[in-house]
């Protein structure tokens, strides 16, 4: 279906759209980037040249390759220019009405053989596709930020998506040098669903005053092997992004308490303390600001790690139980999409599923909240004496 001559269209020239365009062009595809904002297009063009120059400076690519990539990317303010595309990937604001409007416009421009994809991280692909007269050619192709560096891409067919098209798209993205996983169209897909407890349970522990943010981050980094602690990572992602994804997933799961957002994070968002990008978040990044020191209590650290890890494992287990993705794809998604030190289901096997269940049941007994209910599949595997692998 796709060849090296297949032209890729990208709608939106922000960080994600520009990154996706660079990935496609690096793989040898002519890529057309559309945005209605002329100033944004000019910025994107400049940033692309700067990005390529840095890669040359670091000897990641040759000057000739940089020139080739640059020539393959065309920036345009005319939507009609996307007519020659074989695949168009939308990477704009996370708003369902806006996306549906764009997909309606795209369908009136592209050929009948063009595939339409959304880079949404949490919105329903089926809902986006419903705006089109041919929803069978619409799917999700979710790159992670920054698209040029992060290896994982989630492929998400909607209910109406033709699976032949989804499989061809997966093969195409694999040819970009990416690692792909296939996920069912449910809120958050794999990564943004399974990762919620990394933030939410850390926030719960913090709000309960069981440990401060520096101590929680220390425990997850030093004892758990995570590259960043949850508060550091939320500050890096930005609370305008991280909180909104949490809230979106929570609402789409009919307010399931497992996904309940945190007031502490919401207050930061309301104050404009978005994290590193604004100079303040959970931590203060302004020049000369004092940074809190962790309490390096190993017993407390092990409690923090075990509590957050068991909640993550439980969510991964539920994702498998409900047929969102295979065990292999779930573990691949978490290691390649958010750099977890181990796949969560493999990690659960290593810890012992019975021990994970004991920890979850203890939390459920203590709090009496549905948030801590153990996944049925976890209970079944423990009863049967089986593992995930």
Pairing verdict, β 138-143 and 152-157: antiparallel
Question: Which of 121, 122, 242, 314 is labelled catalytic?
Answer: 121
Question: Which of 142, 232, 239, 314 is labelled catalytic?
Answer: 142
Question: Which of 90, 107, 154, 232 is labelled catalytic?
Answer: 154
Known catalytic residue at 18: no
Question: Which of 51, 192, 200, 314 is labelled catalytic?
Answer: 192
Residue carrying structure tokens 């990208």: 10
Known catalytic residue at 121: yes
343: CB partners within 8 A, 6+ apart? 330, 331, 332, 334, 335
3-state helix, strand and coil shares in percent for the chain, rounded to the nearest 5? 55, 10, 35
Pairing verdict, β 73-76 and 31-34: parallel
For 356-380, b/e burial (b = at least 16 CB within 10 A) is: bbebbeebeeeeeeebbbbbebbbe
Number of residues written out for the chain:
389
Known catalytic residue at 142: yes
174: CB partners within 8 A, 6+ apart? 180
Contact 186, 193 (CB under 8 A): yes
Contact 200, 260 (CB under 8 A): yes
- Helix (H) or strand (E) run with residue 157 in it: strand 152-157
Burial of 275 (0-12, 13-18, 19+ CB in 10 A): buried
CA-CA-CA-CA torsion sign (307, 312, 315, 320):
negative
Known catalytic residue at 154: yes
Please give the Cα distance from 259 to 247 (Å, whole number): 8
Q: Which residues are catalytic?
A: 121, 142, 154, 192
């Amino acid at each position: 279906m796709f060849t090296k001559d297949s032209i890729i269209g990208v709608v939106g020239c922000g960080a994600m759209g520009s990154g996706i365009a660079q990935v496609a062009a690096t793989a040898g595809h002519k890529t057309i980037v559309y945005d209605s904002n002329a100033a944004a297009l000019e910025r994107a063009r400049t940033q692309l040249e700067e990005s390529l120059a840095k890669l040359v400076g670091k000897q990641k690519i040759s000057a000739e390759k940089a020139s080739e990539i640059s020539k393959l990317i065309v920036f345009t303010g005319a939507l009609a220019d996307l007519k020659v595309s074989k695949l168009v990937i939308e990477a704009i604001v996370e708003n369902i009405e806006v996306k549906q409007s764009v997909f309606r416009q795209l369908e009136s421009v592209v050929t009948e053989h063009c595939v339409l994809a959304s880079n949404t991280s949490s919105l329903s692909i089926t809902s986006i596709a419903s705006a089109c007269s041919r929803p069978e050619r619409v799917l999700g192709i979710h790159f992670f930020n920054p698209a040029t560096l992060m290896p994982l891409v989630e492929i998400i067919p909607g209910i109406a998506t033709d699976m032949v098209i989804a499989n061809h798209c997966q093969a195409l993205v694999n040819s970009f040098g990416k690692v792909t996983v296939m996920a069912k169209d449910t809120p958050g897909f794999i990564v943004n669903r399974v990762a919620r407890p990394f933030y939410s349970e850390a926030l719960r522990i913090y709000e309960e005053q069981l440990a401060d943010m520096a101590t929680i981050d220390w425990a997850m980094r030093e004892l758990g092997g995570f590259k960043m602690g949850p508060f550091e990572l939320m500050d890096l992602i930005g609370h305008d992004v991280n909180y909104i994804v949490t809230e979106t997933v929570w609402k789409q799961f009919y307010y399931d308490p497992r996904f309940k957002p945190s007031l502490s994070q919401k207050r930061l968002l309301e104050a404009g303390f978005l994290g590193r990008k604004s100079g303040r978040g959970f931590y203060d990044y302004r020049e000369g600001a004092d940074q809190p020191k962790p309490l390096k209590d190993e017993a407390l650290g092990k409690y923090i790690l075990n509590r957050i890890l068991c909640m993550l494992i439980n969510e991964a287990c539920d994702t498998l139980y409900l047929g969102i993705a295979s065990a292999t794809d779930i573990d691949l998604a978490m290691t390649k999409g958010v750099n977890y030190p181990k796949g969560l289901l493999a990690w659960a096997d290593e810890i012992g599923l019975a021990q994970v269940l004991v920890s979850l049941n203890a939390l459920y007994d203590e709090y009496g909240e549905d948030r801590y209910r153990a996944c049925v599949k976890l209970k079944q595997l423990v009863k049967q004496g089986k593992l995930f692998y």
